Structure 1
Amino acid sequence: MRFFLGFIAYLLVCSVGFAQKINASYRLHIQKASSEIRVDGVMDEKAWEDAEVATDFFMITPMDTSFAKVKTDVRMTYDDKHLYLIVINHHAVDGPYMVESLRRDFSFGKNDNFLLFMDPFEDLTNGFSFGANAAGAQWDGQMYNGGAVDLSWDNKWVSKVKNYEDKWIFEAAIPFKSIRYKKGITEWGINFSRLDLKTTEKSGWAPVPRQFPSASLAYTGTLVWDNPPPDAGANISVIPYVLGGVSKNHQAEGKEVYRREVGVDAKISLTSSMNLDLTVNPDFSQVEVDRQVTNLDRFELFFPERRQFFLENGDLFAGFGYSTIRPFFSRRIGLNAPIQFGARLSGKLNKDWRIGAMNMQTGEVTESALPAQNFTVMALQRQVGARSNIGGILVNKQSLRYDPDQVTDGKPVYAEFNRNVGLEYNLASANNLWTGKAMLLQSFGPENMGRGLVHAANLRYASGNLTWNWQHEYVSENYTAEVGFVPRNGFYRISPMIGYRWFPKSEKILSHGPDFNTSIFFNTRGEQTDNTTYATYNVRFRSQSNLLGWVAYDFVKLQRPFDPTNFSGKFLDSGTEHTWNAFGLEYSSKPQSLFTYAFTSRVGGYFADGQRFNFTTDFGYRFQPYVSLALSTNFNQINLPQPWGDTRFWLVGPRVDVTMTNTVFFTAFVQYNEQINNINLNTRFQWRFKPASDLFLVYTDNYLPAPFNVKNRSVVLKFTYWWNV
């Protein structure tokens, strides 16, 4: 505890002295529209003639020391209901635009695009992003942690892109009801980002150092309102759904199971910056399937949350901790039981305070003796210094009407409750050069079971050339987070990293340099159990292609039996030691081409003095902007002594995306996973007939690869409608 408090004190010192906003001198004035605005991609309204222009963008990449060569002009205005934006994206060289497709929330680096980043609280930490690619595909996301964008967030707004011979124009209307902002504030953080793939130039209105993303809220300019933004007024949205479907388990020779379901979500804005979300009988059948992986890991794998209900302000809950130490992981809710209802309160109390509270109720599952359970999560965050914050979290999982003495027939016995309480300090200096975290967690269970402690911290420095990071972690043996993601416990870990980049005056190479990092684990008795050390060399070309080579050393002392193929059912003994070396090469092609490709390779040792060869590929071809074809492959060959012998796994995933318009989409995704002996087919048709209102048709099949028998099959038709009360 003394060390924890000392580390927080050190981080607080690092955050002092950077209180002045860096790009405070970049100011764009916005005034109420002097005429009606039609969102048509044509700048012919008087309101646009009267609006102030943001121009003379700064180059971010390939260099950040000059103005951009590609010219971009931005104007903004508003009326009582909407915030308006129009952008003239001039061409610097002749040729067609470059985009993947009309798919919403496109890949940033593979599309000519314009993005708006806004911080309506001027806290340099949280905000919203809107934008489009040159074909008109929309991009929207919620911003958190000073520059991360959660593209799973979806809301109502309209836009239009119109292409001309020498430019493309993006025009948008964003309802004030679709965003959160503090009433009465007359200055918002704002920045604009432009990516032009023909020139491989990324630029921003307010300058951003090239080591940071253009989304970095630390480097926003200021949007100055002539009057406080209008009150959004009563803001209640009801989003009902109706669903019908049928499924059949062919392996069990089961009968058709029919689904006839209705449910509803509601969004209630308690204030312009505080939102209450309610859900009754939610269904997430339209959510895109997870990408399968060949699993050779000793620990549980992480798959991200995709369900819309859990995403707005989700960083308050899911952002607590580190990637492998998460006290809350929303995918634990509704994993094996139906969600009956839930509520979530989240948002800003004022400029310095954020709050989040969630309560979800799941139903009983008789077949597995799983009782009805209630999940409660509460989070509170207080901004300190320039962009840092201190946060607390409480996570509670409670079994209802549960008597373990009544569980029989070998069915699992579930804990009556599991709780986690945590405190965390997040450092982010005003210039973003210093970032870090220090956290403390305590878990609680019935009768002193599952009571454990976690401490972890890191400090990172990232300048234009030098980057280094120190991280250490401790998780006690009996720490338990049943609603979290903590794949291993009973360890100490240290993980330092250092890297350096040179930026030569070269027509071919943008940057190059080495990285060194190591991750060393000790058990609670102080014995080393794992050591993974990497040395890599990175080359980034001006064409935006990347080349990376690496060498690695691995040491593992198994703490429990492990099957090195995760397939054979034959295990290495606990306590055995394994050491090997490996090397690899990775390359990704330039994103401007219609045909893109990437590969990774690995050659070297493996457990039990064995050998492992791994090769992955990703191919893509686009008939822009309507069709995108992709094929990913992953091949593993593992050569081990008996009783394992030689094992080979293929994972192959072809995918087709057809975007007939920016409101009609079709996706077909096939995954052949040899390790689990399964072929999965998932197809999804989506028609966005109104903003945030959709019709989905989802068809799913699972097959045995040989003799290609059907395992199970389902089809679902779902209708959702976003209704503003």
Structure 2
Amino acid sequence: MYKLNLLLLLGCCTFCNYAFAQQKKNANYQIHIKRAASAIKIDGLTDDADWQKADSAANFFMVLPMDTSFAKVRTTVKMSYDNNNLYLLAICYTVRPGPYMVESLKRDFNFGKNDNFLLFMDPFDARTDGFSFGANAAGAQWDGTMYEGGKVDLSWDNKWYSAVKNYPDKWVFEAAIPFKSIRYKKGIREWGINFSRNDLITTEKSSWAPVPRQFPTASLAYTGSIIWDEEPPVASSNVSVIPYVLGGVSKDFQAGTKAAYRKEIGGDVKVALTSSLNLDATVNPDFSQVDVDQQVINLNRYELFFPEKRQFFLENGDLFSNFGYADIRPFFSRRIGLNAPIRFGARMTGKIDKNWRVGVMDVQTGQSGAANLPGQNFGVVTLQHRVFSRSNIAFMFINKDATSSAPSAGSTAPGYNRNVGLEYNLASSNNLYTGKFLALKSFSPNVSGHDFVAAGNLQYLSKYWTFYLQQQYVGRNYNAEVGYVPRVGYNKINPLIQHNFFPKSGVVLSHGLQLSSTYFFDEHFKRTDNESIFSYLITFRNRSTLTFSGLDTYVKLLRPFDPTNNGNAPLPTGTANHWNTADVQFASKPQSVFTYLFEAARGGYYENGNRLSLTGQMGYRFQPYVNLIMNLSYNDLHMPQPYGRTKFWLVGPRADVTFTNTLYFTTFVQYNEQAKNMNINSRLQWRYKPASDFFIVYGDNSIPSPFTVKNRQLTVKWTYWWNI
């Protein structure tokens, strides 16, 4: 274990000598930005005098289907600014007249299912984090924060303005992004920037500064530069107050209690301590308008993960949530306020300079009578220091303390839990090599020994080859009460290799073989379970995909487990199981108004049983106002008695109706046969001003058969974003 970690770390350092000596890949791609001489009106027109004089970024490069030529569809981008806003104009030409392909007018659309234009901006030119703004051809906005060198968190929401105009031969996107809405450092006159265009009619994805096809166009390793004619303006006052007022009613029909009424006020305050460092404070926050989680059939032995969606935790959220791995997260913000109300909290996040990022968070929760939990305080400190061109070293400390006694005797909540961690994140200048080396230790009352984590991984990703190797050790006493670590007491080894082929003609764009294995051992390196997957992946020129897979699975139970997760008697500890599975997946081309995907898997299961699993999604859009989606999942388990045959349906229709790009109605119905629950969530959202909303949210849960209502709730909420 330790030798492998050391080899991974030495490998990272060796690659550093090669990869980090290189300069910025696309440094020669530059667009110059000049101060506007007069007011620019955001109307989707190109007749403003300053646009006629502005520098242009054109001659985009094709990224998909292939990255070896200029784009067939033309795109021209211009930028300007004044004391308050950064202005953007994108003229997106088309090859022939016809309807544009969009899902709806809803914000933060699916990139692959919309004709769209996106801006990726790195104000520090550090090639690790930044901001993204854009729109689809119908005018729906897209905004998010960027992290890990090329990922976009669309949960982030801020105040900006845009307009889109459609013409027979082009569509035009115009935007004003207030300097108050982004974080940057005073005095830096060269920012990293790239522009991305997705055109579904030609199935072409393109970018201004060239990006290899194996990477997303959001990859900050391949940004060009925006050169300012003078220092970017700095807002003299950047304070936002975001109050809310809420009224609601709920009723628990199962408990037979009377209707409970809610009348609440609260809100957030955002203060720019510097142009790149932000303080967020919240009092009595409410998250009733947040999208409900999409349910899944749960046949896993370990806890499922659902992402954070609450606005308070999102800005610079990668500083906290991306420390560690997907299955080793020392901090997971959804643990805060899970069973107890959040009373108040504060976060300071952002950049000190080009090389240092910082995050400090403190949140206080109240007592919970229902869960018999005391009031608790959650404190987190994280620091990130950039090294070489795009790598970083990060530190994190997490503290959870009880601040009062439980409402009644018998609480099992410990007095404290602490975690400290250090990680090195490798990212080469051209993004071909990435990796991580992680060390964590937990501190809990009356626990010592086997309470630490050591893990590492290294990846090489080129157009033709992918090599990946990951190793993890998690001690049996490691405890991250404010984290997501579903499994402890193991060693894990996960290799992967993939090779791609690119035919010069025909309907197939690329195809390739992938082989991966995941082996788990106990702390004495005795095998407990493993899964090996052999896949053949095909991508067609119309962007549809087809994958065939064969899986070999071995599981030795480390604790009693009901393989139906349906309340049956569990299989005993030590039960060994081995089976094989065949799997096929297909996703249709995204440029149709009717889209679909399906997956079918057939193979063995626990106790020499067998399992048939069918999942699918169908979508139809009445552009640009209505997008209908149906999610389906079916599992059929055949096992010896006492289990017998068990069948589960999960049906989830969803309707998104966008009357305009500021008025949305969403209804999401989920019928989960395994959980014996039917959930309805309906939400009307009116964005009457940028980042200011009025919500009406209705939800209920019912027992499907015989139909019985369990609970219902109705909430009306008003928010206002006030810049001081």
- Alpha-carbon contact 1:388-1:427 (below 8 Å) kept: yes
1:113-124 paired onto structure 2 within 5 Å: 113-124=116-127
Shift of 1:13: 2.8
Shift of 1:7: 3.8
Match of 1:39?
A: 42
- Alpha-carbon contact 1:15-1:386 (below 8 Å) kept: no
Shift of 1:448: 2.9
Shift of 1:451: 6.5
Match of 1:289?
A: 292
Match of 1:673?
A: 672
Q: Deviations over 1:495-542 (max 9, x none)?
A: 000001111112311100011000000011221001100000000001
Structure 2 gaps, min length 5: none
Rounded Cα–Cα distance in structure 2 between residues aligned with 1:367 and 1:669: 28
1:236-275 paired onto structure 2 within 5 Å: 236-275=239-278
Match of 2:499?
A: 500
Shift of 1:450: 8.5
CA pair 3-592 structure 1, distance change in 2 beyond 3 A: closer
Q: Deviations over 1:79-110 (max 9, x none)?
A: 00000000110001332110000010000000
Rounded Cα–Cα distance in structure 2 between residues aligned with 1:308 and 1:12: 37
Q: Deviations over 1:274-305 (max 9, x none)?
A: 00000000000000000001000000000000
Q: Deviations over 1:31-63 (max 9, x none)?
A: 001221000000001100010110000000101
Whichever residue aligns with residue 264 of structure 1, its letter is: G
- Alpha-carbon contact 1:93-1:199 (below 8 Å) kept: no
- Alpha-carbon contact 2:9-2:456 (below 8 Å) kept: no
Whichever residue aligns with residue 367 of structure 2, its letter is: E
- Alpha-carbon contact 2:85-2:178 (below 8 Å) kept: yes
Whichever residue aligns with residue 516 of structure 1, its letter is: L
Q: Deviations over 1:441-489 (max 9, x none)?
A: 0000113368701011000000110001000000000000000000010
Match of 1:16?
A: 17
Rounded Cα–Cα distance in structure 2 between residues aligned with 1:449 and 1:682: 46
- Alpha-carbon contact 2:8-2:457 (below 8 Å) kept: no
Whichever residue aligns with residue 494 of structure 1, its letter is: I
Match of 1:708?
A: 707
Match of 2:414?
A: 415
Whichever residue aligns with residue 98 of structure 2, its letter is: G
Match of 1:28?
A: 31
1:393-432 paired onto structure 2 within 5 Å: 393-402=396-405, 408=409, 411-432=410-431
Rounded Cα–Cα distance in structure 2 between residues aligned with 1:662 and 1:212: 30
Structure 1 gaps, min length 5: none
2:688 paired with 1:689: yes
SS at match of 1:298: coil
Match of 2:571?
A: 572
- Alpha-carbon contact 1:553-1:582 (below 8 Å) kept: yes
Which of the residues 183, 187, 195 maps onto 1:184?
Answer: 187
Whichever residue aligns with residue 11 of structure 1, its letter is: C
TM-score (norm 1): 0.98
Shift of 1:261: 0.2
- Alpha-carbon contact 2:363-2:377 (below 8 Å) kept: yes
Rounded Cα–Cα distance in structure 1 between residues aligned with 2:5 and 2:640: 46
2:132 paired with 1:129: yes
SS at match of 1:271: coil
Match of 1:610?
A: 609
Q: Mean Cα displacement is larger for which, 442-451 or 109-118?
A: 442-451
Match of 2:463?
A: 464
- Alpha-carbon contact 1:343-1:358 (below 8 Å) kept: yes
Shift of 1:661: 0.3
- Alpha-carbon contact 1:159-1:173 (below 8 Å) kept: yes
Shift of 1:368: 3.3
- Alpha-carbon contact 1:444-1:451 (below 8 Å) kept: no
1:128-527 paired onto structure 2 within 5 Å: 128-402=131-405, 408=409, 411-448=410-447, 452-527=451-526
- Alpha-carbon contact 2:528-2:556 (below 8 Å) kept: yes
- Alpha-carbon contact 1:34-1:50 (below 8 Å) kept: no
SS at match of 1:536: strand
Rounded Cα–Cα distance in structure 1 between residues aligned with 2:580 and 2:225: 52
Rounded Cα–Cα distance in structure 2 between residues aligned with 1:251 and 1:368: 18
Report the identity percentage: 59
Q: How many residues align?
A: 721
2:71 paired with 1:68: yes
Shift of 1:568: 3.3
SS at match of 1:402: coil
RMSD: 1.2
Q: Mean Cα displacement is larger for which, 14-23 or 57-66?
A: 14-23
Shift of 1:15: 2.4
Match of 1:94?
A: 97
Rounded Cα–Cα distance in structure 2 between residues aligned with 1:354 and 1:90: 39
Rounded Cα–Cα distance in structure 2 between residues aligned with 1:517 and 1:461: 15
Runs of 4+ in 1 over 6 A off after TM superposition: none
Whichever residue aligns with residue 346 of structure 1, its letter is: T
Shift of 1:4: 4.8
CA pair 545-677 structure 1, distance change in 2 beyond 3 A: same
Rounded Cα–Cα distance in structure 2 between residues aligned with 1:204 and 1:363: 49
CA pair 299-60 structure 1, distance change in 2 beyond 3 A: same
Rounded Cα–Cα distance in structure 1 between residues aligned with 2:600 and 2:274: 52
Shift of 1:424: 0.2
Shift of 1:3: 6.4
Rounded Cα–Cα distance in structure 1 between residues aligned with 2:693 and 2:589: 34
Whichever residue aligns with residue 499 of structure 2, its letter is: Y
SS at match of 1:447: coil
- Alpha-carbon contact 2:36-2:50 (below 8 Å) kept: yes
TM-score (norm 2): 0.98
- Alpha-carbon contact 2:58-2:76 (below 8 Å) kept: yes
Q: Deviations over 1:130-187 (max 9, x none)?
A: 0000000000000010000000000000000000011000000000000000110000
Rounded Cα–Cα distance in structure 1 between residues aligned with 2:14 and 2:411: 50
Rounded Cα–Cα distance in structure 2 between residues aligned with 1:684 and 1:33: 41
- Alpha-carbon contact 2:696-2:717 (below 8 Å) kept: yes
- Alpha-carbon contact 1:654-1:670 (below 8 Å) kept: yes
Whichever residue aligns with residue 421 of structure 1, its letter is: V
Match of 2:539?
A: 540
